[in-house]
């Protein structure tokens, strides 16, 4: 018996042992036969699947549900330096003056928790592996598992990539100019997209992306920090939402019913047919304490897609199992897009619905689409209390 604690090292070693096997010899051939048989990329053909997967596919019904998971770390802050206005960015966003990093740092001591629009350059910066701490650090504490986006005032290279013996090694250069960490917390809106990875293109750095973040200092979460970290937490810039990413505007819709708020955010309202569309829905309990609620076993979120001026509609649906969960005030839950599709044959759009379902990502045909986030749940235990259905729609345009 191994009496050693299950720390990070032991767990990682166990994972490596669990997965220390190459793929079966015949898997490569069967996979290539299944996927590369012809270049027409016809819809999934189960006859090419391995026998056991065919059995699995036999249960494929009219009501289809597939869940798609459809979202950096730490540096210090420098002393304020330059105060020039952000270049290449609008002067205001949503009525807020866009500040440089220097300006935001200068404003912090007297800003309270009022919202600030911060413009700057963002590039990932992270330690390569860190153990999960034995206790959950407060959200704004300086801990290696806490998310913090490095925002620099000037465009500069932070992460360098070097390929050696088939692997890549990353190294980090500390920023030279004004910078701060912006914290993406559980209540932050639109997931900040992960920057383009430089390895494949042969670039030697992560290309910084210009962003505008709406956020605030002196967040209430600072009260949960340890005394040693209280000052750090008070001065942390907490992201409320992403307003611009690489020049693109984001979109937000909300629905409030009773003590519940559903917020639906998309990185953009302009997409292309080749884009993998992403979005984040967040459900928040605005009361005090916590509340029990019952919902589908897969969670309270669903999403609907409606072609404006067209006939294609992918409505939302859920499994009817009732799973009781808790929602705590100040601890919202969020979800990426979950696709649900149902239809009754014969339906002229059946082929499209099958294709939409089979796509592991979310792609939409050209046109205008209403995308709606739904939160459906019943207060209390056993799904016997008051039912809520919150809807937050966003209209997007998809270009060829």
Partner 1 sequence: MTQAPAGSSLVDLARDGDAGAFEALVRSRMDAMYRLGLAILGDEADAADAAQMTFVAAWRQLPGLRESDRFDAWLQRIAVNSCRMALRARGRRRVREIPMTEMLTADERTLENGATGRRDAQMLRSALRHLSLDQRAILALHHLDGRPLTEVAGILDIPVGTAKSRLFKARAELDKALRAEGRR
| Binder of partner 1 out of 69, 171, 289, 348 (CB under 8 A) | 69
DSSP code, position 377: E
| Binder of partner 1 out of 64, 67, 107, 304 (CB under 8 A) | 67
Write out the binding residues for partner 1, residues 18-47 only, by CB under 8 A.
Answer: 18-24, 27-28, 30-32, 34-36, 39, 41, 43-44
Write out the binding residues for partner 1, residues 187-216 only, by CB under 8 A.
Answer: 187-188, 191-194, 196-202
**Where does residue 308 fall: left (phi above 0), alpha (psi -120 to 50 degrees), or beta otherwise?**
beta
Burial 66-105 (b: 16+ CB within 10 A, else e): eebebebbbbebbebbeeeebeebeeebeeeebbbbbbbb
Q: Which of 380, 385, 375 is nearest to 257 (CA)?
A: 375
Residue 302 beta carbon to partner 1: minimum distance, rounded to whole angstroms: 16
| DSSP-derived 3-state class of residue 61 | coil
Write out the binding residues for partner 1, residues 228-257 only, by CB under 8 A.
Answer: none
Please give the Cα distance from 11 to 22 (Å, whole number).
20
| Binder of partner 1 out of 82, 360, 380, 382 (CB under 8 A) | 360
| Binder of partner 1 out of 204, 361, 380, 386 (CB under 8 A) | 361
Residue 82 beta carbon to partner 1: minimum distance, rounded to whole angstroms: 28
Q: Which of 104, 148, 98 is nearest to 126 (CA)?
A: 148
| Binder of partner 1 out of 52, 227, 228, 400 (CB under 8 A) | 52
Please give the Cα distance from 287 to 167 (Å, whole number).
50
Residue 168 beta carbon to partner 1: minimum distance, rounded to whole angstroms: 5
Write out the binding residues for partner 1, residues 277-336 only, by CB under 8 A.
Answer: 278, 280, 334, 336
Write out the binding residues for partner 1, residues 336-355 only, by CB under 8 A.
Answer: 336
| Binder of partner 1 out of 85, 223, 231, 276 (CB under 8 A) | 276
Please give the Cα distance from 327 to 331 (Å, whole number).
7
Nearer of residues 86 and 332 to partner 1, judged by Cβ: 332
Residue 83 beta carbon to partner 1: minimum distance, rounded to whole angstroms: 29
Residue 356 beta carbon to partner 1: minimum distance, rounded to whole angstroms: 12
Nearer of residues 206 and 377 to partner 1, judged by Cβ: 206
The DSSP line for 198-265 is STTTT-SBPPPEEEEEEEESS-GGGGGS-GGGHHHHHTPEEEEEEEEETTEEPEEEEEEETTEEEEEE
Q: Which of 22, 68, 16, 50 is nearest to 338 (CA)?
A: 68
Task: Decide: is 64 part of the binding site for partner 1 (CB under 8 A).
Answer: no
Residue 97 beta carbon to partner 1: minimum distance, rounded to whole angstroms: 26
Residues 95-134 vs partner 1: string with x where CB under 8 A?
A: -----------------------------x-xxxxx-x--
Nearer of residues 10 and 366 to partner 1, judged by Cβ: 10
Nearer of residues 131 and 287 to partner 1, judged by Cβ: 131
Nearer of residues 102 and 185 to partner 1, judged by Cβ: 185
Q: State yes or no: cis peptide before 346, omega within 30 of 0.
A: yes
209 touches 159 (CB < 8 A): no
Nearer of residues 118 and 333 to partner 1, judged by Cβ: 333
Binding residues for partner 1, total number by CB under 8 A:
98
Q: Mention every residue, 6+ apart, whose C-beta is less than 8 A from residue 261.
A: 254, 255, 283, 284, 286, 390
CA 350, chain centre distance (Å) = 30
Write out the binding residues for partner 1, residues 139-198 only, by CB under 8 A.
Answer: 139, 145-147, 163, 166-170, 183-188, 191-194, 196-198
Q: In this structure, what token pair is assigned to residue 150?
A: 């490095």
298 touches 90 (CB < 8 A): no
Residue 335 beta carbon to partner 1: minimum distance, rounded to whole angstroms: 8
Segment interacting with partner 1 (CB under 8 A) among 53-61, 113-121, 252-260, 340-348: 53-61
Nearer of residues 40 and 228 to partner 1, judged by Cβ: 40
């Amino acid at each position: 018996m191994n009496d050693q604690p299950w720390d990070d090292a032991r767990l990682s070693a166990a994972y490596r042992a669990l997965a220390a096997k190459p793929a079966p010899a015949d898997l490569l051939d069967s996979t290539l036969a299944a996927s590369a048989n012809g270049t027409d990329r016809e819809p999934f053909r189960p006859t090419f699947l391995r026998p056991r997967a065919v059995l699995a596919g036999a249960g494929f019904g009219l009501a289809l549900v597939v869940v798609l998971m459809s979202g950096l770390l730490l540096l210090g802050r420098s002393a304020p330096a330059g105060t020039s206005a952000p270049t290449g960015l609008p002067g205001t966003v949503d009525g807020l003056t866009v500040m440089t990093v220097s300006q935001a740092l200068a404003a912090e001591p007297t800003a309270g928790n009022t919202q600030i629009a911060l413009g700057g350059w963002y590039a990932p910066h992270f330690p390569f592996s860190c153990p999960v701490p034995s206790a959950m650090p407060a959200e704004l504490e300086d801990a290696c598992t806490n998310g913090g986006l490095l925002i620099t005032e000037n465009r500069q290279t932070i992460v360098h990539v070097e390929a050696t013996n088939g692997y890549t090694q990353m190294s980090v250069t500390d920023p030279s100019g004004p910078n701060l960490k912006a914290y993406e917390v559980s209540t932050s809106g639109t997931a900040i997209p992960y920057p383009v990875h430089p390895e494949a293109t042969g670039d030697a750095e992560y290309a910084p992306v210009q962003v505008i973040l709406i956020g605030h200092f002196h967040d209430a979460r600072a009260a949960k920090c340890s005394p040693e970290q209280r000052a750090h937490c008070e001065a942390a810039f907490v992201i409320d939402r992403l307003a611009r990413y690489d020049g693109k505007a984001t979109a937000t819709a909300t629905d409030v019913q009773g003590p519940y708020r559903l917020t639906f955010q998309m990185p953009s309202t302009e997409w292309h047919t080749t884009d993998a569309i992403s979005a984040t829905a967040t459900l928040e309990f605005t009361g005090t304490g916590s509340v029990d609620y019952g919902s589908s076993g897969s969670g309270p979120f669903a999403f609907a897609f409606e072609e404006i001026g067209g006939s294609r509609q992918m409505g939302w649906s859920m499994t009817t199992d009732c799973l009781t969960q808790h929602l705590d005030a100040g601890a919202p839950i969020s979800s990426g897009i979950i696709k649900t599709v149902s239809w009754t044959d014969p339906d002229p759009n059946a082929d499209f619905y099958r294709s939409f379902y089979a796509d592991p990502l979310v792609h939409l045909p050209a046109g205008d689409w209403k995308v709606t986030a739904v939160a459906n749940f019943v207060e209390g235990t056993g799904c016997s209390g008051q039912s809520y259905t919150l809807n937050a729609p966003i209209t997007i345009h998809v270009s060829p």
